[in-house]
Structure 1
Amino acid sequence: MPEPLSLIDQAERQCLARGVRFTPIRRRVLEMIATSHGALKAYDLLDQLAKEHGAARPPTIYRALDFLLEQGLVHRIESLNAYLACHCPEHQHGFQLLICRGCGRVEEMHDDDLGTRLVASADRHGFSIERQTIELEGRCQDCTSQAAAMAENAQ
Protein backbone atom coordinates (compact mmCIF):
# COMPACT_ATOMS: atom_id res chain seq x y z
CA MET A 1 0.00 0.00 0.00
CA PRO A 2 1.50 3.38 -0.99
CA GLU A 3 2.30 5.95 1.69
CA PRO A 4 -0.30 8.74 2.08
CA LEU A 5 2.17 11.36 0.84
CA SER A 6 2.86 9.42 -2.35
CA LEU A 7 -0.91 9.11 -2.85
CA ILE A 8 -1.21 12.89 -2.60
CA ASP A 9 1.68 13.39 -5.03
CA GLN A 10 0.11 10.90 -7.41
CA ALA A 11 -3.25 12.67 -7.11
CA GLU A 12 -1.59 16.02 -7.82
CA ARG A 13 0.10 14.65 -10.96
CA GLN A 14 -3.11 12.97 -12.11
CA CYS A 15 -5.15 16.17 -11.70
CA LEU A 16 -2.50 18.22 -13.50
CA ALA A 17 -2.45 15.74 -16.40
CA ARG A 18 -6.25 15.85 -16.63
CA GLY A 19 -6.39 19.64 -16.41
CA VAL A 20 -8.53 19.69 -13.25
CA ARG A 21 -7.92 21.80 -10.15
CA PHE A 22 -6.61 20.02 -7.08
CA THR A 23 -7.53 22.80 -4.66
CA PRO A 24 -6.15 23.04 -1.11
CA ILE A 25 -9.50 21.87 0.32
CA ARG A 26 -9.65 18.86 -2.04
CA ARG A 27 -6.06 18.06 -1.16
CA ARG A 28 -6.74 18.32 2.57
CA VAL A 29 -9.83 16.08 2.38
CA LEU A 30 -7.80 13.47 0.48
CA GLU A 31 -4.99 13.75 3.07
CA MET A 32 -7.47 13.15 5.90
CA ILE A 33 -8.93 10.10 4.17
CA ALA A 34 -5.52 8.73 3.15
CA THR A 35 -4.11 8.96 6.68
CA SER A 36 -7.16 7.46 8.36
CA HIS A 37 -6.92 3.92 9.69
CA GLY A 38 -10.35 3.15 8.26
CA ALA A 39 -13.09 4.64 6.19
CA LEU A 40 -14.36 8.09 7.12
CA LYS A 41 -17.89 9.47 6.95
CA ALA A 42 -18.51 12.92 5.48
CA TYR A 43 -19.39 14.44 8.84
CA ASP A 44 -16.22 13.03 10.41
CA LEU A 45 -14.32 14.83 7.66
CA LEU A 46 -16.35 17.99 8.24
CA ASP A 47 -15.55 17.93 11.97
CA GLN A 48 -11.82 17.62 11.24
CA LEU A 49 -11.86 20.27 8.51
CA ALA A 50 -13.89 22.71 10.62
CA LYS A 51 -11.11 22.67 13.23
CA GLU A 52 -8.72 23.96 10.55
CA HIS A 53 -11.14 26.04 8.47
CA GLY A 54 -13.94 27.45 10.59
CA ALA A 55 -15.98 28.25 7.49
CA ALA A 56 -16.18 24.60 6.38
CA ARG A 57 -19.77 23.48 5.83
CA PRO A 58 -21.33 20.25 4.51
CA PRO A 59 -21.36 21.47 0.87
CA THR A 60 -17.59 22.06 1.14
CA ILE A 61 -17.00 18.42 2.05
CA TYR A 62 -19.51 16.99 -0.41
CA ARG A 63 -18.08 19.02 -3.32
CA ALA A 64 -14.56 17.84 -2.44
CA LEU A 65 -15.74 14.23 -2.12
CA ASP A 66 -17.61 14.40 -5.44
CA PHE A 67 -14.45 15.67 -7.11
CA LEU A 68 -12.27 12.98 -5.51
CA LEU A 69 -14.78 10.28 -6.55
CA GLU A 70 -14.93 11.60 -10.14
CA GLN A 71 -11.15 11.52 -10.34
CA GLY A 72 -10.99 7.98 -8.95
CA LEU A 73 -8.98 9.09 -5.92
CA VAL A 74 -11.42 7.77 -3.31
CA HIS A 75 -14.05 5.06 -3.10
CA ARG A 76 -17.46 5.41 -1.52
CA ILE A 77 -18.34 2.44 0.63
CA GLU A 78 -22.06 2.23 0.06
CA SER A 79 -22.88 -0.02 3.01
CA LEU A 80 -21.05 2.27 5.46
CA ASN A 81 -21.77 5.58 3.73
CA ALA A 82 -18.07 6.30 4.17
CA TYR A 83 -15.00 7.05 2.04
CA LEU A 84 -11.68 5.31 1.55
CA ALA A 85 -8.59 6.44 -0.35
CA CYS A 86 -7.96 4.54 -3.58
CA HIS A 87 -4.45 3.16 -3.38
CA CYS A 88 -4.16 2.62 -7.12
CA PRO A 89 -6.15 5.38 -8.88
CA GLU A 90 -4.54 4.49 -12.21
CA HIS A 91 -6.45 1.19 -12.10
CA GLN A 92 -9.50 1.77 -14.31
CA HIS A 93 -11.30 -1.53 -13.77
CA GLY A 94 -13.81 -2.61 -11.19
CA PHE A 95 -12.69 -3.24 -7.66
CA GLN A 96 -13.84 -5.12 -4.64
CA LEU A 97 -13.76 -3.97 -1.04
CA LEU A 98 -13.07 -6.34 1.85
CA ILE A 99 -14.78 -4.89 4.94
CA CYS A 100 -13.95 -6.35 8.35
CA ARG A 101 -16.90 -6.39 10.75
CA GLY A 102 -14.52 -6.81 13.67
CA CYS A 103 -12.06 -3.92 13.40
CA GLY A 104 -13.61 -1.91 10.57
CA ARG A 105 -10.56 -2.19 8.32
CA VAL A 106 -11.34 -1.89 4.62
CA GLU A 107 -9.03 -3.27 1.97
CA GLU A 108 -9.24 -2.67 -1.75
CA MET A 109 -8.87 -5.71 -3.98
CA HIS A 110 -8.66 -6.00 -7.78
CA ASP A 111 -9.86 -9.28 -9.22
CA ASP A 112 -9.93 -8.32 -12.90
CA ASP A 113 -11.21 -11.76 -13.92
CA LEU A 114 -14.28 -11.25 -11.73
CA GLY A 115 -14.89 -7.83 -13.28
CA THR A 116 -14.53 -9.24 -16.78
CA ARG A 117 -16.96 -12.06 -16.01
CA LEU A 118 -19.51 -9.62 -14.60
CA VAL A 119 -19.29 -7.37 -17.68
CA ALA A 120 -19.68 -10.37 -20.00
CA SER A 121 -22.67 -11.64 -18.04
CA ALA A 122 -24.28 -8.20 -18.06
CA ASP A 123 -23.66 -7.95 -21.82
CA ARG A 124 -25.48 -11.26 -22.33
CA HIS A 125 -28.45 -9.70 -20.53
CA GLY A 126 -28.27 -6.57 -22.68
CA PHE A 127 -27.09 -4.48 -19.74
CA SER A 128 -24.29 -1.94 -19.85
CA ILE A 129 -22.43 -1.53 -16.54
CA GLU A 130 -21.50 2.06 -15.77
CA ARG A 131 -20.04 1.53 -12.31
CA GLN A 132 -19.29 -1.53 -10.27
CA THR A 133 -18.59 -1.74 -6.58
CA ILE A 134 -18.51 -5.04 -4.78
CA GLU A 135 -18.41 -4.96 -1.00
CA LEU A 136 -17.53 -8.16 0.81
CA GLU A 137 -18.15 -8.18 4.56
CA GLY A 138 -16.51 -10.59 6.94
CA ARG A 139 -13.53 -10.79 9.26
CA CYS A 140 -9.93 -9.98 8.49
CA GLN A 141 -7.17 -12.44 9.36
CA ASP A 142 -6.27 -10.59 12.57
CA CYS A 143 -9.86 -10.55 13.86
CA THR A 144 -10.37 -14.20 12.89
CA SER A 145 -7.17 -15.16 14.76
CA GLN A 146 -8.19 -13.14 17.83
CA ALA A 147 -11.65 -14.74 17.88
CA ALA A 148 -10.11 -18.22 17.58
CA ALA A 149 -7.65 -17.47 20.41
CA MET A 150 -10.45 -16.18 22.64
CA ALA A 151 -12.56 -19.26 21.92
CA GLU A 152 -9.59 -21.51 22.69
CA ASN A 153 -8.90 -19.69 25.97
CA ALA A 154 -12.57 -19.94 26.96
CA GLN A 155 -12.44 -23.74 26.83
Structure 2
Amino acid sequence: MTQSKMTQPSQVSSQIFPTPDHDHGRCTADAIKHAEKVCAGRGQKFTTIRRQVLQALLASHRPLGAYEVIDHLARDIARPAPITVYRALDFLMENGLVHRIESRNAFLACAHNHDELSHGQQSLVAFLICDRCGSVGEIPAAPVANSINEAARNTGFAPKLSVVEITGTCAHCQAITT
Protein backbone atom coordinates (compact mmCIF):
# COMPACT_ATOMS: atom_id res chain seq x y z
CA MET A 1 0.00 0.00 0.00
CA THR A 2 1.16 3.50 -0.67
CA GLN A 3 1.53 5.90 2.20
CA SER A 4 -1.47 7.93 0.98
CA LYS A 5 -3.77 4.89 1.16
CA MET A 6 -2.63 3.76 4.60
CA THR A 7 -4.45 4.94 7.69
CA GLN A 8 -2.06 6.83 9.90
CA PRO A 9 -1.98 5.91 13.62
CA SER A 10 -3.08 9.42 14.60
CA GLN A 11 -6.09 9.16 12.27
CA VAL A 12 -7.10 5.83 13.77
CA SER A 13 -6.62 7.17 17.30
CA SER A 14 -8.79 10.20 16.63
CA GLN A 15 -11.59 7.90 15.51
CA ILE A 16 -11.25 5.70 18.59
CA PHE A 17 -10.44 8.37 21.21
CA PRO A 18 -12.09 11.75 20.70
CA THR A 19 -9.70 14.67 20.75
CA PRO A 20 -9.75 16.67 23.98
CA ASP A 21 -11.24 19.66 22.12
CA HIS A 22 -13.96 17.73 20.23
CA ASP A 23 -17.55 19.01 20.21
CA HIS A 24 -18.79 17.01 23.20
CA GLY A 25 -22.30 18.47 22.99
CA ARG A 26 -22.61 17.16 19.44
CA CYS A 27 -21.07 13.83 20.47
CA THR A 28 -23.66 13.44 23.26
CA ALA A 29 -26.57 14.54 21.07
CA ASP A 30 -25.57 12.05 18.36
CA ALA A 31 -25.36 9.24 20.94
CA ILE A 32 -28.83 10.07 22.31
CA LYS A 33 -30.27 10.14 18.77
CA HIS A 34 -28.64 6.76 18.13
CA ALA A 35 -30.20 5.36 21.34
CA GLU A 36 -33.63 6.70 20.36
CA LYS A 37 -33.30 5.10 16.93
CA VAL A 38 -32.19 1.74 18.36
CA CYS A 39 -35.05 1.65 20.86
CA ALA A 40 -37.64 2.75 18.31
CA GLY A 41 -36.38 0.17 15.82
CA ARG A 42 -36.75 -2.57 18.41
CA GLY A 43 -40.10 -1.35 19.70
CA GLN A 44 -38.65 -0.64 23.15
CA LYS A 45 -39.19 2.33 25.42
CA PHE A 46 -36.34 4.76 25.97
CA THR A 47 -37.70 5.84 29.34
CA THR A 48 -36.68 8.95 31.23
CA ILE A 49 -34.45 7.03 33.67
CA ARG A 50 -32.78 5.10 30.84
CA ARG A 51 -32.10 8.39 29.06
CA GLN A 52 -30.76 9.98 32.26
CA VAL A 53 -28.43 7.04 32.96
CA LEU A 54 -27.12 7.15 29.40
CA GLN A 55 -26.64 10.92 29.62
CA ALA A 56 -24.68 10.48 32.87
CA LEU A 57 -22.39 8.02 31.12
CA LEU A 58 -22.07 10.33 28.14
CA ALA A 59 -20.89 13.18 30.36
CA SER A 60 -17.34 11.97 29.71
CA HIS A 61 -15.57 9.29 27.72
CA ARG A 62 -14.59 7.49 30.90
CA PRO A 63 -16.29 4.49 32.45
CA LEU A 64 -18.37 5.10 35.57
CA GLY A 65 -19.42 2.72 38.31
CA ALA A 66 -23.13 2.39 39.06
CA TYR A 67 -22.81 4.46 42.23
CA GLU A 68 -20.96 7.18 40.32
CA VAL A 69 -23.93 7.23 37.92
CA ILE A 70 -26.27 7.54 40.92
CA ASP A 71 -24.18 10.43 42.31
CA HIS A 72 -24.22 12.14 38.92
CA LEU A 73 -28.00 11.80 38.65
CA ALA A 74 -28.52 12.99 42.23
CA ARG A 75 -27.17 16.42 41.22
CA ASP A 76 -30.34 17.09 39.20
CA ILE A 77 -33.04 14.66 40.36
CA ALA A 78 -34.02 12.81 43.52
CA ARG A 79 -31.36 10.20 44.25
CA PRO A 80 -32.49 7.05 42.38
CA ALA A 81 -32.44 3.66 44.06
CA PRO A 82 -29.50 1.47 43.00
CA ILE A 83 -31.86 -1.18 41.59
CA THR A 84 -33.41 1.43 39.30
CA VAL A 85 -30.00 2.39 37.91
CA TYR A 86 -28.90 -1.24 37.57
CA ARG A 87 -32.08 -2.06 35.64
CA ALA A 88 -31.49 0.89 33.32
CA LEU A 89 -27.87 -0.21 32.83
CA ASP A 90 -29.00 -3.76 32.06
CA PHE A 91 -31.44 -2.46 29.45
CA LEU A 92 -28.80 -0.21 27.90
CA MET A 93 -26.28 -3.09 27.78
CA GLU A 94 -28.81 -5.48 26.25
CA ASN A 95 -29.38 -2.95 23.48
CA GLY A 96 -25.69 -2.30 22.81
CA LEU A 97 -25.84 1.27 24.09
CA VAL A 98 -23.56 0.67 27.07
CA HIS A 99 -20.61 -1.65 27.63
CA ARG A 100 -19.39 -3.04 30.94
CA ILE A 101 -15.69 -2.60 31.55
CA GLU A 102 -15.02 -5.71 33.60
CA SER A 103 -11.64 -4.71 35.02
CA ARG A 104 -13.07 -1.45 36.38
CA ASN A 105 -16.51 -2.77 37.35
CA ALA A 106 -17.80 0.22 35.43
CA PHE A 107 -19.95 1.13 32.46
CA LEU A 108 -19.22 3.04 29.27
CA ALA A 109 -21.67 4.65 26.85
CA CYS A 110 -21.42 3.43 23.26
CA ALA A 111 -22.83 5.09 20.15
CA HIS A 112 -21.53 2.54 17.64
CA ASN A 113 -23.95 0.40 15.71
CA HIS A 114 -22.36 -2.98 16.38
CA ASP A 115 -24.98 -4.79 14.29
CA GLU A 116 -23.71 -2.93 11.21
CA LEU A 117 -20.02 -3.22 12.17
CA SER A 118 -20.00 -6.96 12.83
CA HIS A 119 -20.64 -8.08 9.22
CA GLY A 120 -22.41 -11.25 10.33
CA GLN A 121 -19.93 -12.11 13.09
CA GLN A 122 -20.73 -11.82 16.74
CA SER A 123 -20.10 -8.19 17.66
CA LEU A 124 -16.96 -8.35 19.79
CA VAL A 125 -14.78 -5.42 20.68
CA ALA A 126 -11.55 -4.84 22.53
CA PHE A 127 -11.46 -1.95 24.96
CA LEU A 128 -8.39 0.26 24.94
CA ILE A 129 -8.14 1.84 28.38
CA CYS A 130 -5.81 4.81 28.84
CA ASP A 131 -4.03 4.62 32.20
CA ARG A 132 -3.36 8.37 32.17
CA CYS A 133 -6.63 10.08 31.25
CA GLY A 134 -9.05 7.19 31.88
CA SER A 135 -10.63 7.39 28.43
CA VAL A 136 -11.73 4.17 26.80
CA GLY A 137 -11.79 3.45 23.09
CA GLU A 138 -13.04 0.37 21.35
CA ILE A 139 -11.84 -1.53 18.33
CA PRO A 140 -13.30 -4.56 16.54
CA ALA A 141 -11.91 -7.75 18.05
CA ALA A 142 -13.98 -10.57 16.57
CA PRO A 143 -10.98 -12.37 15.01
CA VAL A 144 -9.01 -12.27 18.28
CA ALA A 145 -11.97 -13.29 20.45
CA ASN A 146 -12.99 -16.01 17.99
CA SER A 147 -9.45 -17.44 18.10
CA ILE A 148 -9.46 -17.45 21.89
CA ASN A 149 -12.91 -19.03 22.00
CA GLU A 150 -11.86 -21.69 19.49
CA ALA A 151 -8.74 -22.52 21.53
CA ALA A 152 -10.92 -22.81 24.63
CA ARG A 153 -13.45 -25.04 22.84
CA ASN A 154 -10.59 -27.29 21.66
CA THR A 155 -9.85 -28.05 25.32
CA GLY A 156 -13.45 -29.02 25.96
CA PHE A 157 -14.27 -25.70 27.61
CA ALA A 158 -17.51 -23.96 26.58
CA PRO A 159 -16.84 -20.19 26.62
CA LYS A 160 -19.79 -17.84 27.16
CA LEU A 161 -18.18 -14.42 26.97
CA SER A 162 -14.99 -12.96 25.57
CA VAL A 163 -13.93 -9.59 26.85
CA VAL A 164 -10.65 -8.10 25.73
CA GLU A 165 -9.37 -5.11 27.72
CA ILE A 166 -6.01 -3.58 26.94
CA THR A 167 -4.47 -0.91 29.14
CA GLY A 168 -1.87 1.56 27.96
CA THR A 169 -1.58 5.18 26.91
CA CYS A 170 -3.73 6.83 24.25
CA ALA A 171 -2.14 8.89 21.49
CA HIS A 172 -3.41 12.15 22.99
CA CYS A 173 -1.68 11.49 26.33
CA GLN A 174 1.46 10.30 24.54
CA ALA A 175 1.54 13.58 22.60
CA ILE A 176 1.36 15.56 25.84
CA THR A 177 4.44 13.84 27.28
CA THR A 178 6.58 14.09 24.13
Q: Smaller-chain TM-score range? A: 0.7 to 0.9
- Segments of 5+ residues of structure 1 without an aligned counterpart are 150-155
> Structure 1: which 4+ aligned runs deviate by more than 4 Å?
none
Amino acid at match of 1:74: V
Deviation by residue 1:42-97 (Cα, 9 ceiling, x = unmatched) = 11211121222214121221111111111111111111111111231434511100
CA–CA distance in structure 1, aligned partners of residues 103 and 145 of structure 2: 20
Q: What residue is the counterpart of 1:152 in the other structure? A: none
Could you tell me which of 123, 132, 137 is aligned with 2:153?
A: 123
Report how many aligned residue pairs link the two structures: 148
* 8 Å contact from structure 2 (residues 34, 111) kept in 1: no
57 and 5 in structure 1: CA distance in 2 versus 1, 3 angstrom threshold: same
Amino acid at match of 1:95: V
Could you tell me which of 114, 123, 130 is aligned with 1:100?
A: 130
Shift of residue 7 of structure 1? 1.8
- TM norm structure 1: 0.82
CA–CA distance in structure 2, aligned partners of residues 94 and 37 of structure 1: 19
* 8 Å contact from structure 1 (residues 38, 104) kept in 2: yes
Amino acid at match of 1:112: A
Q: What residue is the counterpart of 1:35 in the other structure? A: 59
Aligned identity (percent) is: 40
1:79 match: secondary structure = helix
CA–CA distance in structure 1, aligned partners of residues 34 and 58 of structure 2: 12
Could you tell me which of 84, 105, 109 is aligned with 2:108?
A: 84
Verify: 1:62 aligned to 2:76, yes or no: no
